[in-house]
Amino acid sequence: MASFLTSSPTFSLQNKISYHGERNPLTTLSVSFSSPYVGRRGRGYGSYSVSRATSIEKDVLHKDVHGVDEKDAIDPDFGVVGMHHVGVLCENLERSLDFYQNILGLEINEARPHDKLPYRGAWLWVGSEMIHLMELPNPDPLAGRPEHGGRDRHACIAIKDVSKLKEILDKAGIPYTLSRSGRPALFTRDPDSNALEFTQV
């Protein structure tokens, strides 16, 4: 069996005492090592450092991993301008439209190509962005999902009045949970158990 490492890593060890504030001496143990690696552009040599700092109050474990090859670095600025839409799977398009249009009050973007895709769907305006409803098999189970949508995959919609939305959901008999952090926000689910967050801004 071939080995992933072609040579043994080298280590250097040092122990020093520094001071964190006037009354909190800090003992730091630093270990640095270099080892071969295999990257997207071939093999190279990487350097890493691990330090452990012990103080009177608590232990702090810190690890720094430095870039190993400048050739592999990619400029992340490719021109992000915002969120265009979120895709939401549904079992029955009409049932979902009843929820998104009649309960949430969203409007269909008629300019989007509803009939040019190999499945049924609809595009709904959410401010200047959209939700794309897609009538496709959903791989996620309907049962066993977290009661609180904040602990599940979800899309967040900014609104002006959470209390008004609570009244609408209460009248429709749709359950929801409030934000655990205490901020003005709630979580609910659509007919296919897709979690939605509504946060007041």
Q: What is the pLDDT of residues 68-116, one digit of tens each?
A: 566 778 888 899 999 999 999 999 999 999 999 999 999 999 999 878 8
Residues 189 and 116 in one domain: yes
% residues pLDDT > 70 (the chain): 65
In terms of Cβ atoms closer than 10 Å to its own Cβ (0-12, 13-18, 19+), residue 146 is exposed
Domain boundaries, position 63:
10-67
Domain co-membership, 103 together with 172: yes
Residue 56 or residue 115, greater confidence: 115
CB atoms within 10 A of CB 10: 11
Residue 35 lies in a domain: yes
* Residues 103 and 145 reside in one and the same domain: yes
Please tell me the distance from the alpha carbon of residue 165 to that of residue 104, in angstroms, as a whole number: 8
Residue 1 counted as domain residue: no
Q: How many domains does the chain have?
A: 2
* pLDDT average, residue stretch 24-52: 46
Residues 121 and 170 in one domain: yes
